[in-house]
Structure 1
Amino acid sequence: MMLLVQIADTAKQVADTVNRAAAQTAALPQQDDLRFGDLLVKGGWVMIPIGILAVLGLVIFFERYFTIRKAGKNESNLMVQVRENILNGRLESAVAICKNSNTPLGRMLQKGLLRIGRPIKEIEGAIENVGKLEVAKLEKNIGIIGIVAGIAPMFGFLGTIAGVIKIFYDISKTDNISMGVISGGLYVKMVTSAAGLFVGIVAYVCYHILNMMVDKVILKLETDAIEFIDLLEEPSK
């Protein structure tokens, strides 16, 4: 009988302990879910230059992308028309066609047509000079994207280091070295590093995409320029 009473008392104590624990858990404030927008705001002032770099890089990328894509469109029809007019002796018509095309290849061929009658080397030099100018126009501002790819991660690391310094400064002032204080501030400051790396990676990819597109256009212009010079040399063969 005594044993049954002890078991009943022990069961009652366990039940009371469980109830008190449940009541304390319910009394604790519910933590909000981690939101992406809140993290960006908590990243601090460093998120402002990182955001500016991201917008700048994207604007330049899309502007250059469509410009280079337009310059690299197929101009086989232009070459056919120029060839036909040259072989038929209609030089002025060929020049007008190149001028109306308003493309890098058209401007290169126009410069070469205006030099017809001079030595081939001089015509080649004129076309090459125009080609260099056209390539420089295509590459305009692409270097800025490369700069964004380089400095965006640096801004991110700067924000994280500044945050860590502030955390340890606060610890030295309050003498509170609890893991909650350290981790609570550190995970927020790591957001700047993540944002900087993300912007840097995207900018790096965009930079090389544009460079590959420019290289493709250069190869096409060189091929068409060689075809044009061969066309001018045909009567003298």
Structure 2
Amino acid sequence: MSVLLQIVADTTVQAVQTGQDAMAKVSVWGLLGKGGVLMYPLYLLLILAIFMFFERFLAIRKASRIDSNFMHVIRENILSGNVQAARNLARTTDSPVARIIEKGLRRVGKPIDVIEKSMESVGRLELYNMEKNLNILSLIAGIAPMFGFLGTIVGMIQLFFEINSTGNFELSVIAGGIYVKMITSGTGLVIGLIAYIMHNYLATQVDKTANKMEIASTEFIDILQEPTR
């Protein structure tokens, strides 16, 4: 009896080790390599998404940097009647807020509504520059899963064509072919999810910067309506 138990135990251990070895051989890169030709467009979409994310991230972060003392200095110069100094400061400061304020300073002396409209036009241009190319990430988030599904459908057609041609209806052959063809779908969904997260994160940062621009514009209009010293 003990001999039989020992044989069963040895067999179980060997089967577990064999399963572990098989799982170890199935790496992520190995699976991706079985995805077929349509994996290459997915790789390109992933590379493009990563590039666009970092390019826009750096641009938006640069645009969102606003010196906390900037509006204070602008206010002091305007109230003291030194508008030219305020214009020089705004002109030499590289930020969307500074460019909006500089546009308003050029219109000092004209009606408030004229100043507001000129500042709004600059604000829309700055907002457009920040949002530029964000639609590419949105597009990748939409088409990457479609490319994945297309790869799976093409693979399934090939699989069933081979089964019909060879007459081999073994379950292992069918299951093995199906899991390989599902790789493109999984990859496309992952890339689409990554691009979606990237797009929404950057859109949130753009909204935060737009709020800063709006607050600075309102503060500037309030300053113009204060009595000069």
Superposition TM-score, scaled by structure 1 size: 0.85
CA–CA distance in 2 between the matches of 1:97 and 1:74?
A: 13
Instruction: Write the mapping of 1:5-44 to structure 2, written as runs, cut at 5 A.
Output: 33-44=25-36
CA–CA distance in 2 between the matches of 1:76 and 1:227?
A: 13
CA–CA distance in 2 between the matches of 1:74 and 1:104?
A: 9
CA–CA distance in 2 between the matches of 1:119 and 1:35?
A: 69
Deviations 1:52-105 (A, max 9, x none): 111111111111112112211233211111111111111111111111111100
Q: Does 1:158 align with 2:150?
A: yes
Amino acid aligned to 2:142? G
Match of 1:144 in 2: 136
Match of 1:234 in 2: 226
CA–CA distance in 1 between the matches of 2:67 and 2:114?
A: 24
CA–CA distance in 2 between the matches of 1:77 and 1:144?
A: 36
Match of 2:204 in 1: 212
**Aligned-partner SS, 2:55:** helix
Of the two structures, which has the highest relative contact order with CA contacts closer than 8 Å and spacing of 6 or more?
Answer: 2
Superposition TM-score, scaled by structure 2 size: 0.88
CA–CA distance in 2 between the matches of 1:95 and 1:74?
A: 16
Aligned residues: 212
CA–CA distance in 2 between the matches of 1:187 and 1:212?
A: 37
Gaps of 5+ in 1: 1-13
Matching residue within 178, 183, 188 for 1:186: 178
Deviations 1:209-232 (A, max 9, x none): 111111111111101100000100
Deviating 4+ runs (over 6 angstroms): none
Residue pair 2:107, 2:115 contacting (<8 A) in 1 also: yes
**What percent of counterpart residues are identical?**
45
Match of 2:75 in 1: 83
